Amino acid sequence: MVTKLETMNKEKKEIKTNLEYLKKLFIMPDSPDKFVEFGHELLEMIHDFFNEKGGIHSSISLPELSMIFDRTAIPDEPHLIKDVLGEIKEKVTAHSVKVGNPYYVGHMISAIPYFMILMEMIIAALNQNQVKIETAKASSFVERELAGWLHRLIFNRSERYYQKNIQNPRVALGNVTSDGTIANLTAMMVAREKAFPSEEGFSGIRMAGVDSALRHYGYERGVIIVSTRGHYSIRKAANMLGLGEENVLNIPVDDNNRMDIQRLHRKIKSLEKEKGKTKIIAIIGIAGTTETGNVDNLKELGEAARETGAHFHVDACWGGSALLVDEYRPMFEGIEEADSVSIDAHKLLYCPMAMGLVLFRNEKDLHYLMQTSNYIIRRNSVDMGRFTIEGSRPFASLKPWASLKIIGRDGYKLLFKSARENTDSFANILDGCGNFETLNVPELFIVNYRFIPQPVQERIFQLEEERKTSIDKEHQKELARHLHKVNRIINALNIKLHKAIRMDDTTFVSRTTLESTRYRPQNIVVLRAVLTNPLTDRDILKEIVETQNRIGGELWPEFETAIRKAANRKAHSGEGGSRNAEVGRSIARSKSRKV
């Protein structure tokens, strides 16, 4: 009798030694049965994943996961596809983060349309490499068309301009990049080359390096100016480009998280006073800060850049796609005068991870990066690899290209309207609850807030009011110290709350630290919700706030005594005790109120 084990071993042996078996893997099966069978299995797997009850992050601990993925060497023997799919289902899918879950409103990631999966199938099947026309034919044209569309959306040059340039391989309206970081890096690299070009007696920063460039042009350093809200990719770019992170000058923001224009001008003036020691390479405006979703005053920033001769880049990785809706255009006023703009497709274009775009107003700016090589991108070729930081690149552009057709501007308009409504709802629900303080004026779908029981909020306002109106400097200082201490405790409370929300795992928001709230210059820990998932609705948002209010209430007693001490040391009247009793009542109230 042949045992099951023997059969399995035989099967394994067969795939082990057989090139014919392997070759078959490389051919799209003639009868699609096998493929469709796997496709069905996959769909079920994906379904299970999305419909599974329970946590957003799966309850497994990180040390437990370590033990699942602890194989230290590559397997020798081939495994059957269905076995590996089973393993993926059990080990990977089961413990993946449900980033598309409507209760997951914590990061710039959302549900994506299912047709994106179809697009990925096409991209993989065609397997074009965008670096070169010999490995990417129609796909090169798709990519250029897409870049043209977004260029027009931003810079809105003439129809004639686009007719002339959209498929002109001698120029490049922009690059499709791996992500926003590489998009920003591309822009900064172009800015750097523009700042220190080649000329008589100097081969250019590209050939000679930063050191020689500074020396040749008589500068001591090159700087990049961005607000304190600047994405960390800017610092990374300054490091990478050899300028040094110290030479990213962060200008403080106003209460709306926008670069303080007065301070920008002061900074520029002080740099000018250094008698040409500093070259301002770029000024960066942000169109949708990562932390707060606010948009810089791009018009003023652009003017400042032009006055100083700096490259004006707009990091619109988050918000740029909102230009698809005319109503948002005023928020971006001035973006059309930027030298370059970056946009992420995996953010508001709802594409899967990951794809960035960087567009250049001047179709010749990317010539600063132009490179050639004998075997891959010959001089005078029409290969897109001439202009990109990456070498081999996938045909990722198909996703936003198809999506802009399938959803259309009209569709994106509806999606952004929904995001806007969810943002407003969420802020309203938080305000209505009473135990949360909202801390930004949301522009592009991001709400910053913190848990802080209503009576404590009132107490803080009282302390603030008293501080502002007091004429006794010593007393003012004392009050400021108290406020500081209270906020420190509230910070700790919100860090703990965030961890508890993660443990609870039925809802998810993220957390950051801001210095631009009403408590500046103190850093305030805030919870951060990003409300772009079209599957999220008002009821879900209510549940999210209720959950967080409940968990906050449970944590509160632990912080109560400390807050009482901090808040009342100043209040010589000794009313602290009753205040804190009041806090407990307030939480109970808002719990029953069901926000």
Within 10 Å of residue 590's Cβ, how many Cβ atoms?
A: 23
| Residues in contact with 330: Cβ distance below 8 Å, sequence separation at least 6, in sequence order | none
Nearest of 263, 270, 265, 298 to residue 284 by alpha carbon? 298
CB of 178 to a second copy, least distance (A): 4
CB of 260 to a second copy, least distance (A): 20
How far CA 465 is from CA of 431, 468, 471, 476, in Å, comes to 20, 5, 12, 10
Closer CB to a second copy, 137 or 477, in the complex = 137
> DSSP string spanning 205-220?
HHHHHHHHHHHHHT-S
Per the rule left: phi > 0, alpha: psi between -120 and 50, beta: everything else, 257 is left
Closer CB to a second copy, 255 or 515, in the complex = 515
In contact, 110 and 116? CB cutoff 8 Å: no
CB of 80 to a second copy, least distance (A): 8
**Distance from the first to the final alpha carbon of the chain:** 68
Q: Is 298 helix (H, G, I), strand (E, B) or coil?
A: helix
b vs e for 317-355, b when ≥16 Cβ sit within 10 Å of the residue's Cβ?
bbbbbbbbbeebeebbebbbbbbbbbbbbbbbbbbbebb
Nearest of 105, 110, 102, 118 to residue 39 by alpha carbon? 118
CB of 553 to a second copy, least distance (A): 24
CB of 581 to a second copy, least distance (A): 35
CB of 210 to a second copy, least distance (A): 4
Closer CB to a second copy, 551 or 567, in the complex = 551
Nearest of 564, 562, 565, 546 to residue 554 by alpha carbon? 546
Closer CB to a second copy, 347 or 459, in the complex = 347
CB of 186 to a second copy, least distance (A): 10
Query: How would you classify the pairing of strands 311-315 and 340-344?
Result: parallel
Closer CB to a second copy, 295 or 404, in the complex = 404
Closer CB to a second copy, 342 or 435, in the complex = 342
Closer CB to a second copy, 457 or 510, in the complex = 510
In contact, 317 and 288? CB cutoff 8 Å: yes
CB of 232 to a second copy, least distance (A): 4
